[in-house]
Amino acid sequence: MKELAKKHALLLQEHLKEQRIDVAVISDPSSIYYYTGAHSFLGMEFGRPTLLIVPQSDACSLVTPLCEGAMLREMVWLDNLILWLDGEDGEWRTPLEKTLKDYRQGTVGVDYLEMPRIVFDFIAKDCQKDALKDVTPAINKMRMVKSPEEIQVARHAGEVAAAMLKGAHDIAGEGVQEYEIALAVYDAGTRKAAELLAVHYDDDLTSPVLHFQQIVTSGTRTSLPHQRASLRKLEKGDPLFLCFCGITNFRQFKLGFDRVLYIGQPKASDVRLWDIALRAQLGALSEIRPGAVAENVFKAYAEVIRSSGLECSFRAGRSVGYSFNEAPQLSSGDKTKLLPGMIFAVDGAVNDPGVSRAQTGDSIVVTDTGYEKLTNYSNNIEDLIIPVG
């Protein structure tokens, strides 16, 4: 990752030169990883920002908590780590101010949409009027098209996703509690991630252990799509909704992935919803190819749902990468043209409030001729039925 991150940073410096931005301060953890290889375990939720300073031509530097210093030195390609200690000498403010002092009369770029307000206000207080420029659009554009190395990591993330669903599939059944499904998902995904790390990567600073609270919900509560696993026991005839979008995360690369399992033969109403969801996803996928417009993917998806008499309450998908939600969006109004190397989560999702939900979601990479599926698991309803006695 170090060499790839260095390449990304050099491209960002070229952009700063073209836009006459003297220096950029990057605060978003996923962008810091993209440009340095650093995946810190602390952040603003601990009151400890890590900030990347990217000048037009001088050496980049990383302002980071002292306790993270030794670990980050092993992760990153750059040499200049500026360390600060909690409670002493202004913490991160003093080294940031010293690093930026030579640029105060120039133009400073910030990742405005991601930057914590406390950091932004500190930078802005000494800048000239109109001297701050948002570099978020440039970063988003750089991160849209993934490199061959990133696409390979995404393929492995897809294997982790499929293993998680199989873990759920293997344990699900009448009388099983939802939280037990979540535990099986974590176990299966972690073991697959560990296997892939051991075989394909020489990196002992990346953990295979999954995090984020798994979205698992069943029965009529599937119409509340972002519920977490509870003590509820699965019953015969239940749909079991599994959203892996928050936990499909391998080597910092995130994918979207969803399925519904059925505990015994599904009700006729659930079969109908699944059919609509699947056709909606297939409609969206039929538009995926280089040159396609993002909002047209949404229109194909929405047409299936609306023509079935249901409300379209969900975008067709989103770009994914080192963040769970990147640009562009497969939604109305996004006129971005698709390019080879873009990676999207593409959904088919329909909801019958208070009754049930059906959602099938997969991640794909745009190829020269269409797309390659990264999350390979059947969405044939017969394959998603759990037999019961």
Cα 223 to Cα 345: distance, rounded to the nearest angstrom: 20
The whole-number pLDDT of residue 61 equals: 95
The whole-number pLDDT of residue 189 equals: 96
In this structure, what is the dihedral angle of CA atoms 57, 59, 63, 67, given to the nearest 10 degrees?
A: 160
Considering only CA atoms, which of 296, 274, 194, 182 is closest in space to residue 228? 182
pLDDT above 90: residue 99: no
Q: Which amino acid, one-letter code, is at 77?
A: W
- Span 333-360, pLDDT tens digits: 999 999 999 999 999 999 888 889 999 9
Contacts of 91 (CB under 8 A, 6+ apart): 84, 85
Given a contact cutoff of 8 angstroms between Cβ atoms, the answer to whether 292 and 371 are in contact is no
The whole-number pLDDT of residue 54 equals: 95
Residues for the chain: how many in total? Answer: 389
Per-residue pLDDT band at 274 (split at 50, 70, 90): very high
At which residue do the structure tokens 């910092």 appear? 252
Cβ-count burial 287-311 (b if 16+ within 10 Å, e if not):
bbbbebebbbbbbbbbebbeebebe
Per-residue pLDDT band at 6 (split at 50, 70, 90): very high
Cα 166 to Cα 249: distance, rounded to the nearest angstrom: 17
Per-residue pLDDT band at 129 (split at 50, 70, 90): confident
The whole-number pLDDT of residue 140 equals: 93
Average pLDDT (135-158) is 95
Considering only CA atoms, which of 43, 34, 46 is closest in space to residue 64? 43
Contacts of 320 (CB under 8 A, 6+ apart): 254, 255, 256, 326, 343, 344, 345, 363
Q: For all residues of the chain together, what is the average pLDDT?
A: 92
Q: Which range is least confidently modeled, 92-106, 177-191, 295-309, 356-370?
A: 92-106
pLDDT above 90: residue 295: yes
Contacts of 152 (CB under 8 A, 6+ apart): none
Q: Which domains does the chain have, with CATH numbers?
A: 2-142 (3.40.350.10), 148-386 (3.90.230.10)
pLDDT higher at 221 or 155: 155
Residue 206: CB atoms within 10 Å: 14
Give CA angle at 379 (378, 385), nearest 5°: 90
Average pLDDT (153-165) is 97
The whole-number pLDDT of residue 262 equals: 97
Query: By percentage, how much of the chain surpasses pLDDT 90?
Result: 77
- CA–CA distance from 270 to each of 220, 225, 274, 304, 331 (Å)? 11, 15, 6, 17, 26
The whole-number pLDDT of residue 131 equals: 86
- CA–CA distance from 76 to each of 12, 69, 203, 205, 308 (Å)? 16, 11, 13, 12, 51
Cα 97 to Cα 95: distance, rounded to the nearest angstrom: 5
Per-residue pLDDT band at 166 (split at 50, 70, 90): very high
Average pLDDT (298-316) is 92
pLDDT higher at 360 or 41: 360
Per-residue pLDDT band at 272 (split at 50, 70, 90): very high
Cα 98 to Cα 278: distance, rounded to the nearest angstrom: 56
Q: Which helix (H) or strand (E) holds 55?
A: strand 51-55
Average pLDDT (16-38) is 93
- Span 184-236, pLDDT tens digits: 999 999 999 999 999 999 887 888 888 888 899 999 888 887 888 999 999 99
DSSP state of 250: E
CA atoms 91, 94, 96, 99: torsion sign: negative
Given a contact cutoff of 8 angstroms between Cβ atoms, the answer to whether 235 and 222 are in contact is no
Cα–chain center distance at 302? 23
Cα–chain center distance at 313? 21
The whole-number pLDDT of residue 183 equals: 95
- Span 239-261, pLDDT tens digits: 999 999 889 999 999 999 999 99
The whole-number pLDDT of residue 128 equals: 75
Cα 3 to Cα 316: distance, rounded to the nearest angstrom: 34
Residue 86: CB atoms within 10 Å: 12
